[in-house]
Structures are given as C-alpha cells and as structure tokens.
Amino acid sequence: LMFGKARTCNIVTVPEHEPSEVNIVILGAMGSGKSALTVKFLTKRFISEYDPNLEDTYSSEEVVDQQPVLVKVMDTADQEGPVNSERYLGWANAFIIVYSIDNRSSFEVCQQYLETVSLYSKGLQPEAPVILLGNKVDMERYRQVSKADGAALALRFGCLFFEVSACLDFLSVQHIFHEAVREVRRE
C-alpha cells in the first residue's frame, strides 16, 4: 500500500506574449495630426486646435482581442524632425510614424523618423513594431502623397501601413492603435 498526498496539479495557462502594458510613441512632422489622432483615440472626438508644442503621455485602459491592456501614448511635438530621440527610443514598445497625405514634406520627415527608429531597433530582440500612417484622407482633393508611395516606403522599412483621418470615424483610428498592441503581442 502506498500512502501519499493526493497531488493536485493546477495548471494555469498564461499566454506567453501578453504584455499588460504597451507604450506607443507617435512621431511625425508638426501639423501632420499626431495630437488630433491621439485625442481621437482617447476621447472619440476630433479636436481641431491643439497646442502644437505640447508633448505629453496619456494612458488608456483598452481591451484588445478580449485581453485587457494599459496603452500609454506619447504624443511627441518635435519642431523639425528627429531630435533628442533618446527620450522615447528606449521607452517605446511600438512606433506610429505619421504624415499628412496633403503634405509632401511631412512624408519626407517620416523617412527620417523611420531611419532613426530602424537604426536604433537594429540588433534589438525583439524589434519594436512600426506603423507608417498617412493621415487626413478626408483631404483627398489635396493629396500630394499617393497611397502607392506610402506602401512602398512601408515595404522598404518592413512596417505596417495605413491611411486614416483623425476627423472621420473613431473605429478606424482605434484600429491603428489596437494593431500596434497586436504587433507587440506577436513578438
């Protein structure tokens, strides 16, 4: 006869790659709509006038694919391209790099950000995902950057690409931020 404690084995399966916090940095030229997109994501509302020099970080409790996550968004306010990038490079789990489809030079600024971020990410395991985002699709009549140009740049840097408008539907804007969370989880 063998005596012994009945052993119960509670196996709790914790998904391996479900970070409870995701830090997202929004980069791009002044006026491309970084703050408008951030505010839209946080409040569902379009704010047309936002202090162009205000840089801040906001938090939002989100549920992405039935999994809760605290999303922190740093809405940056660089005046001319990437400077002092150290303040966000180490902090970020994901990058959203924004240009305005009606402004060619904002698209060129995006390339500088893509280069800065990819130079930093190179050799990091895992690399932080990057989303290239063409904003202001409601300004189609004044478009200066074709969708094909956006897609080609994204392909060159191996990142996701979307076009959106901060002043149109909320769900499309929310989708971008949730995709960033999904990309971080996939790592």
Residue 30 binds which entry of Mg ion, ligand GDP, none, CB below 5-8 Å type-dependent: ligand GDP
Whose CA is closest to 89, among 63, 121, 67, 62?
A: 121
* CB closest to Mg ion, residue no: 35
Determine the Cα–Cα distance for residues 158 and 155; give it in Å rounded to an integer. 5
Angstrom distance (rounded) from CA 138 to CA 126: 35
Name which of 19 and 42 has its Cβ closer to ligand GDP.
Answer: 42
Mark residues 58-97: x for contact with Mg ion by CB under 5 A, - for none: -------------------x--------------------
* For helices 34-43 and 170-186, angle between their N-to-C axes, nearest 10 degrees: 90
Number of residues that bind ligand GDP (CB under 6 A): 18
Peptide bond into 82 cis (omega under 30): no
| Binder of Mg ion out of 35, 106, 116, 135 (CB under 5 A) | 35
Q: Which partner, Mg ion, ligand GDP, none, binds residue 126 by CB below 5 to 8 Å per kind?
A: none
Q: Quick check: 100 binds Mg ion (CB under 5 A)?
A: no
Show contacts with ligand GDP in window 19-38 (CB under 6 A): 28, 30-36
Q: Under the criterion CB under 6 A, does residue 136 sit at the interface with ligand GDP?
A: yes
DSSP string, 72-122: EEEE---SSS--STHHHHTT-SEEEEEEETT-HHHHHHHHHHHHHHHHHHT
The yes or no reply on residue 48 touching ligand GDP (CB under 6 A) is: yes
Contact of 26 with 42, CB cutoff 8 Å: no
- CB of residue 34 vs ligand GDP: minimum separation in angstroms? 3
Interacting residues with ligand GDP between 57 and 116 (CB under 6 A): none
Q: Which two tokens stand for residue 98?
A: 């924004």
Q: How far is CA 67 from CA 73, 95, 119, 167, in A?
A: 18, 21, 32, 28
CB of 35 to Mg ion, least distance (A): 3
Binding site for ligand GDP (CB under 6 A): 28, 30-36, 48, 50, 52, 135-136, 138-139, 165-167
